[in-house]
Amino acid sequence: VFIEAGKVGYKSPSNIALVKYWGKREGQIPANPSISFTLSACATTTKIQFKKLDSPSHGFTFDFFFEGSPKPSFRPKIETFFKRISPYCPFLTEYHFTIETSNSFPHSSGIASSASGMSALALCLMEIERMLYPGMDDDFFIKKASFLARLGSGSACRSLEGPLVTWGVHKEIPDSTDLYGIPYKGEVHPIFKNYHDTILLVDKGQKQVSSTVGHDLVNGHPFAEQRFQQAHRNLVRLKPILKSGNLEEFIQVIESEALTLHAIMMTGDPYFVLMKPNTLEIINRIWAFREESGSHVCFTLDAGANVHVLYPETEKEKVNQFIVNELVAYCENQQYICDRIGQGAVKL
């Protein structure tokens, strides 16, 4: 249908991988399958106003505002994204877009906003497409939105739905595909309901290594093939764990995945150490606390120094006390973010 102008909006969360995606092929195709917890507090809100151009433009015409102000440094990212998705969204050259976006978490907190940001943007664009092509089926809508988000930032394709999302072909996960994320359909024990993720901000600086450089380093890495196979095995291991709620085994898989991601970075060419001394202090404190208290608190890491502290709702009081008393001291300016497992994006 012909639409002169309109407005759409989405709030989309970040996600934290349990089995990590690290390494990709041409076209943002993951080298191995992954699974993540969708988060809830760390989210991006994006609103787009669109207006028909008098004649289709050659490039893309848009204004971009981040937290209320124009942000020229973000424009190239959006240009690249639009270019990549334009074969699938021909309407991009027919409209002018005013994109306004803001994050729920503090700017330059060392928290990557690419997953929440790209998924919110992709959902807004799909909403426009749905207005132009009414009658679009919901299943197509969400899959294509995740497909577009993937082309923005791989892990963004796992942020649209919740509470657990898989992405990448795996022989024991039916329907899991390299093209988009899908909600995990296996049985999930109630212990994972409301699972907590307290993010300790160890280093708020610019990321030392961009994920593009990180993924590139996996190409030709001497341990790459073993790592990809390990990710497949860890997904197989995780299935019965998610079903039974066996947290001892859950911890083993999750912490090993985090350390492996960092080990790959340390053994690459070039090599990087992404942890800071305080990252290791926190890990050691978590291990000691688990030993002393019998708690099931564990950690995971992204490709940076911040630590995601994971624990069940049933241990909330005990672990919160431990975090405040012992771990916060290792955070930059004592900063941390309380998040938990979430259900995915919402339309505004």
Interface contacts to ligand PMV, rule CB under 6 A: 17, 20-22, 34, 114, 153-155, 211, 302-303
Closer by beta carbon to ligand PMV, 9 or else 152? 152
Minimum distance between the CB of residue 99 and ligand PMV, rounded to whole angstroms?
20
Closer by beta carbon to ligand PMV, 92 or else 151? 151
> What is d(CA 189, CA 193) in angstroms, rounded to the nearest whole number?
8
In sequence order, what are the beta bridge partners of 62?
97
Let me know: does 42 contact 50? Beta carbons within 8 Å: no
Let me know: does 60 contact 90? Beta carbons within 8 Å: no
Minimum distance between the CB of residue 204 and ligand PMV, rounded to whole angstroms?
17
Closer by beta carbon to ligand PMV, 120 or else 128? 120
Minimum distance between the CB of residue 250 and ligand PMV, rounded to whole angstroms?
17
Minimum distance between the CB of residue 256 and ligand PMV, rounded to whole angstroms?
14
Closer by beta carbon to ligand PMV, 176 or else 211? 211
Closer by beta carbon to ligand PMV, 15 or else 47? 15
Let me know: does 285 contact 325? Beta carbons within 8 Å: no
Query: Which among 160, 153, 118 has a CA at the least distance from the CA of 139?
Result: 160
In single-letter form, the type of residue at position 144 comes to K
Minimum distance between the CB of residue 9 and ligand PMV, rounded to whole angstroms?
23
Number of H helices, E strands in the chain: 8, 14
Closer by beta carbon to ligand PMV, 24 or else 296? 24
Minimum distance between the CB of residue 114 and ligand PMV, rounded to whole angstroms?
5
Contacts of the segment 255-258: beta carbons below 8 A, 24+ positions apart: 255/298, 255/299, 255/300, 257/17, 257/18, 257/19, 257/20, 257/231, 257/300, 258/20, 258/299, 258/300, 258/301
Minimum distance between the CB of residue 25 and ligand PMV, rounded to whole angstroms?
13
Exposure letters 302-316 (e unless 16+ CB within 10 A, then b): bbbbbbbbbbbeebe
Minimum distance between the CB of residue 308 and ligand PMV, rounded to whole angstroms?
11
R_g (Cα) of the chain, nearest Å: 20
Q: What angle do CA 284, 286, 287 make, to 5 degrees?
A: 65
Closer by beta carbon to ligand PMV, 268 or else 322? 268
> What is d(CA 213, CA 27) in angstroms, rounded to the nearest whole number?
15
Closer by beta carbon to ligand PMV, 47 or else 308? 308
Q: Which residue blocks in 20-176 are alpha helix, DSSP H?
A: 75-85, 114-132, 138-152
> What is d(CA 21, CA 36) in angstroms, rounded to the nearest whole number?
10
Minimum distance between the CB of residue 19 and ligand PMV, rounded to whole angstroms?
8
Closer by beta carbon to ligand PMV, 114 or else 116? 114
